[in-house]
Amino acid sequence: MTTTTRRGGRPASGEPVLDRAFRLLDAFTDAETSMTLTRLSDRAGIPLSSTLRLAQHLSRLGALERRSDGTFTMGLRMLEYAALAPRGHGLRAIALPYMEDLHRASRQHVQLAVREKDEGVIVERLSAPGAGKVLYHVGARVPLHGTGLGLVLLAHSRPEFQESYLQRELFLEPEHIPLAAVDLRTQLHEVRTSGVVHMARALPEPAASVAAPIFDRSGDCAAVISVVGADGSLDTRMLEPAVVAIARAISRDLARGGRDPQAGRSPG
Amino acid sequence: MTTTTRRGGRPASGEPVLDRAFRLLDAFTDAETSMTLTRLSDRAGIPLSSTLRLAQHLSRLGALERRSDGTFTMGLRMLEYAALAPRGHGLRAIALPYMEDLHRASRQHVQLAVREKDEGVIVERLSAPGAGKVLYHVGARVPLHGTGLGLVLLAHSRPEFQESYLQRELFLEPEHIPLAAVDLRTQLHEVRTSGVVHMARALPEPAASVAAPIFDRSGDCAAVISVVGADGSLDTRMLEPAVVAIARAISRDLARGGRDPQAGRSPG
């Protein structure tokens, strides 16, 4: 294979095209779901001409969409891919009916997350209009320390992983307060002992949550579910039985292989 | 830029890498959400060595995940991308609370779809365990003719698009019955006049649905919502007022810019 060099020193062949394509996709954020070509080029740090060529190619593949005003947005093809992620929509299909029950009963935000490497990823959330604002959206990443969702996932991960995580220099954000390994170790022990995590914080604004683990057939922690209230007055102790019960119900359904509501046939 | 040729006659540089990467992603289906390397190579029609290299690269990017048993699945990164698609999760965030209301009231499947080029794409669905099986899952594509969802989207598309669609040779599946342009034109007129579509079919199994359009601020049809029952006994006339009312409520919220339940802050 011949390798030539382009502007920016990247080889013209093979992998870098894929890296650049995903850099374009990564340029989109919650705050900026549509972008002009120039903005996209700036955000991704890719020359305008390459950005145009790549963005057009990604649009042909359905990964991006070009709107009538010329701006680019994420394409619907991504929905198809996301729907096929077993730890995303597969888990979600099983958990959603239970999440709705919890949502109706608590009238608070309900979140479902899984661990991906050293972070948690929100795979579903149901929002309560009156329950205050929330930091995280579907697909968002949360730290494994300092959040209820994260602590549950970390506490139930393999011991070697926990040890390596504890070796890190950790901070609680947004205050940027150092978190000592000994304190985190104590927290993780408590999470495993009590089976739930209650969190309350004042910053960036008052909020409280309660989270519980969801286990798969082999007894591994597959996910975590949490109820979050952001008006500062949520009594998470009151909600603990409901969250624990629903987490157990989802675990049971997951172990059974789920009801698989996505299979079968009918008209549109 | 130097272009060399590989096995299969594809140039080694530039676009084809991206095409092959998306061919790997496209190899996954609802029926096969995880695959061995060999199976992935077969399904995508890409040599084993290239498949390995690409699949590893896509795994590093988070687009794929390699499980402990060595099989590949779609990665959680796709959830993040899907969550940023304005016509996917953006619309969904606004519509979901209303869809839940309709779901609770009807105890049937509720589906939300948008048009992408010459097909409809399901962007959300709520399943009712007792309401029979359904053909479509999130991300699935449905024809614009012969389905309630599709007819609503087609009837409210630009006249030039409708005309070009009517020029095609169309069939009703799975029976493969030819659909005359004059009949489809009549159906589209009725959809625009009545504001809803009622569908009933015997094949592949008895099912009935009622669908209504959702409009955006500029009065364009942005999406369609439908209730589907698959036990053959659903009285769609009874459900019409509920579907129309909910479609209007979502339209109003969409025009307002939505409640945007994905913004803000709180703990996990």
For residue B261, what is the nearest residue in chain A, using CA coordinates?
Answer: A127
Whether B60 and B89 share a structural domain: no
Tokens for B166, please give them. 């009517």
- Min mean pLDDT across A71-75, A178-182, B19-23, B135-139 is at B135-139
Looking at CA atoms only, how far is residue B226 from chain A in angstroms? 7
Q: Is B202 on the interface with A (CB under 8 A)?
A: no
- Assigned domain for A42 exists: yes
By C-alpha distance, which of A249, A262, A216, A87 is closest to B34?
Answer: A87
For residue B138, what is the nearest residue in chain A, using CA coordinates?
Answer: A83
Whether B36 and B62 share a structural domain: yes
Looking at CA atoms only, how far is residue B237 from chain A in angstroms? 16
- Assigned domain for B141 exists: yes
Tokens for B160, please give them. 């030039």
- Assigned domain for A31 exists: yes
Distance CA B202, CA B148 (A): 14
Whether B29 and B76 share a structural domain: yes
- Assigned domain for A262 exists: no
Tokens for B15, please give them. 């676009």
By C-alpha distance, which of A244, A146, A248 is closest to A188?
Answer: A146
Q: What single-letter DSSP state applies at residue A118?
A: T
Nearest to A129 among B28, B80, B261 (CB): B261
Looking at CA atoms only, how far is residue B167 from chain A in angstroms? 23
Whether B19 and B118 share a structural domain: no
Hey, what amino acid is at A35?
A: M
Q: Which residues of B93-123 are buried (b: 16+ CB within 10 A; e: fewer)?
A: bbbbbbbbebbeebebbbbbbbbbeebbbbb
What does the pLDDT look like over B55-91, one tens digit per residue?
Answer: 999 999 999 999 888 999 999 899 889 888 888 777 8
- Assigned domain for A2 exists: no
Looking at CA atoms only, how far is residue B229 from chain A in angstroms? 8
- Assigned domain for A263 exists: no
| A89–B138 C-beta distance less than 8 A | yes
Domain boundary among B50, B80, B110: B80
Whether A89 and A71 share a structural domain: no
Confirm if B199 and B147 have CB atoms less than 8 A apart.
yes
Whether B56 and B134 share a structural domain: no
Domain around A70: 7-80
Confirm if B242 and B105 have CB atoms less than 8 A apart.
yes
The CB density around residue A27, as the number of other CB atoms within 10 Å, is 20
What does the pLDDT look like over A72-97, one tens digit per residue?
Answer: 999 989 988 988 888 877 788 788 88
Give the pLDDT confidence score for residue A199 in this predicted structure: 87
Q: Is A211 on the interface with B (CB under 8 A)?
A: yes
- Assigned domain for B265 exists: no
Whether B108 and B18 share a structural domain: no
- Give the list of residues 6+ apart from residue B75 with CB closer than 8 angstroms, or none: A85, B58, B59, B61, B62, B63, B64, B65
Chain A neighbors of B265, CB-CB under 8 A = 133-135, 204-205, 207, 230
Whether A96 and A206 share a structural domain: yes
Distance CA B64, CA B76 (A): 8
> Where does the pLDDT of residue B174 fall: very low under 50, low under 70, confident under 90, or very high at 90 and above?
confident
Domain boundary among B31, B65, B80: B80
| Residue A236 pLDDT greater than 90, yes or no | no
With a pLDDT cut of 90, the percent of chain A lying above it is: 51
Whether B99 and B208 share a structural domain: yes
| A135–B264 C-beta distance less than 8 A | yes
Number of domains in chain A: 2
- Chain A residues 122-161 with a CB less than 8 Å from chain B: 123, 126-127, 129, 132-140, 142, 147-150
Q: Looking at this predicted complex, what is its ipTM?
A: 0.75
> Where does the pLDDT of residue B128 fall: very low under 50, low under 70, confident under 90, or very high at 90 and above?
low
Give the pLDDT confidence score for residue B132 in this predicted structure: 58
Whether A136 and A18 share a structural domain: no
Distance CA B63, CA B78 (A): 6
> Where does the pLDDT of residue B190 fall: very low under 50, low under 70, confident under 90, or very high at 90 and above?
very high
Q: Which of B2, B35, B79 is best to mutate for the A interface (most A CBs within 10 A)?
A: B79
What does the pLDDT look like over A35-65, one tens digit per residue?
Answer: 999 999 999 999 999 999 999 999 999 999 9
Q: What is the CATH number of the domain that holds B49?
A: 1.10.10.10
Nearest to A138 among B21, B89, B135 (CB): B89
The CB density around residue A171, as the number of other CB atoms within 10 Å, is 14
* Tally: H helices and E strands in chain B: 9, 11
Nearest to B30 among A54, A84, A265 (CB): A84
For residue A227, list its beta bridge partners.
Answer: A110, A210
Q: Which of A1, A56, A79, A102 is best to mutate for the B interface (most B CBs within 10 A)?
A: A79
| B134–A265 C-beta distance less than 8 A | yes
Whether A50 and A118 share a structural domain: no
Q: What is the CATH number of the domain that holds A103?
A: 3.30.450.40
Chain A neighbors of B268, CB-CB under 8 A = 111, 113, 120, 135-136, 142, 147-150, 199, 209, 211, 226, 228
What does the pLDDT look like over A180-235, one tens digit per residue?
Answer: 999 999 999 999 999 999 988 776 667 889 999 999 988 899 999 999 886 667 78
Average pLDDT, chain A: 84
Whether B113 and B246 share a structural domain: yes
- Min mean pLDDT across A106-120, A172-186, B191-205 is at B191-205
Domain boundary among B80, B106, B138: B80
Hey, what amino acid is at A195?
A: G
Confirm if B115 and A240 have CB atoms less than 8 A apart.
no
What does the pLDDT look like over A102-143, one tens digit per residue?
Answer: 988 888 889 999 998 899 999 888 876 655 555 677 888 899
| A201–B261 C-beta distance less than 8 A | no
- Assigned domain for B41 exists: yes
- Give the list of residues 6+ apart from residue B46 with CB closer than 8 angstroms, or none: B20, B23, B24, B54
